[in-house]
Amino acid sequence: MKGKFLFIAGTATGFVLGSKAGRQAYDRLSAKAHQLWGDPATQKVISQAETIARDAASVAQTKASDLLDRTEASVKKEETKTTPKEDDGNHVI
């Protein structure tokens, strides 16, 4: 019980002290983040990253589709090997 009380007291103290001293720091950090986000150089890098991600997704989609097609063809090939063409009476169902 003592541990719970100390934890709650510590959390409350940290919240009060953090909210008083932390608001100015948060506002400065937020302003800097908005400034950085609006920077043309940052936007250029973001645009390049989006293009690279789109290209990589397209390549991955093509590779996955090809792999799926090959797997499907392989399964069909194996099915034709194991499926009897006519009932010769030699297999048990």
**pTM of the shown model:** 0.50
**84 DSSP 8-state letter:** -
Host domain of residue 17: 1-38
Residues 29 and 50 in one domain: no
Q: Specify the higher pLDDT residue, 81 or 33.
A: 33
Q: Which residue has the higher pLDDT, 87 or 77?
A: 77
The shares of helix, strand and coil residues in the chain, as percent rounded to the nearest 5, are 85, 0, 15
Length of the chain: 93
> Is the pLDDT at 24 greater than 90, yes or no?
no
Q: Is residue 89 part of a domain?
A: no
Q: What percent of the chain has pLDDT over 90?
A: 38
* 4 plus 29 within the same structural domain: yes
Could you tell me if 91 and 84 are in contact, meaning their C-beta atoms sit under 8 angstroms apart? yes
- pLDDT for res 72: 92
